[in-house]
Amino acid sequence: MTTRTLIVLRHAKAAHTPGLADAERPLTERGENDARRVGETFAALGLRPDLVLCSPAVRTRRTAELALPGEPVEFERDIYEAYADELLTLLRRTDPEVRTLLLVGHNPAVHELVLELTTRAGDSGFPPGAFAVIETGDEWAELESGRAVTRWSPKDR
């Protein structure tokens, strides 16, 4: 059995700017710093995705750029405003050769996806910049469940 790794990352802290479209919201200074810390944590954990799927919103794009500088990112418009079941459908279309997949998206869908895949009770939430690492023996096309091996949040300092 081949183990696959799914990393689910919520974008870092974004600004609320009156008059600015939701998809155009930038990261705050704290968000920028937290996104860099995500990248440092990925490196410390030895996490290097084979594929990065990211919402095209400014805040998710910038989070991915700061967390994984220089890495190629595929922007999927279907991630923006998706529900958890729609994210799962998107993940199931992943090439079977991909072993480690990173999804960069938005709450509540990313948090609900993590809960759905791991059936984790008593969950403490999924703040901006948080990520979960889930291992599964499932093929991407049949992804149903996994085991949360790591949860990280900028608030964990």
What is the signed CA dihedral for 96, 145, 65, 95, rounded to 10 degrees?
A: 10
Among the listed residues 102, 100, 97, 138, the one whose alpha carbon sits nearest the alpha carbon of residue 117: 138
The torsion angles phi and psi of 62, rounded to 5 degrees, stand at -70, -40
Entry pTM: 0.96
Q: Say how many domains are in the chain.
A: 1
Kindly report the CATH number assigned to the domain that includes residue 85: 3.40.50.1240
83: domain range? 4-156
pLDDT for 123-150, tens place per residue? 778 999 999 999 999 999 999 999 999 9
| pLDDT tens-digit series, residues 85-129 | 999 999 999 999 999 999 999 999 999 999 999 976 667 789 999
Nearest-angstrom CA–CA distance, 145 and 38: 24
Residue 53 contacts residue 100 (beta carbons within 8 Å): no
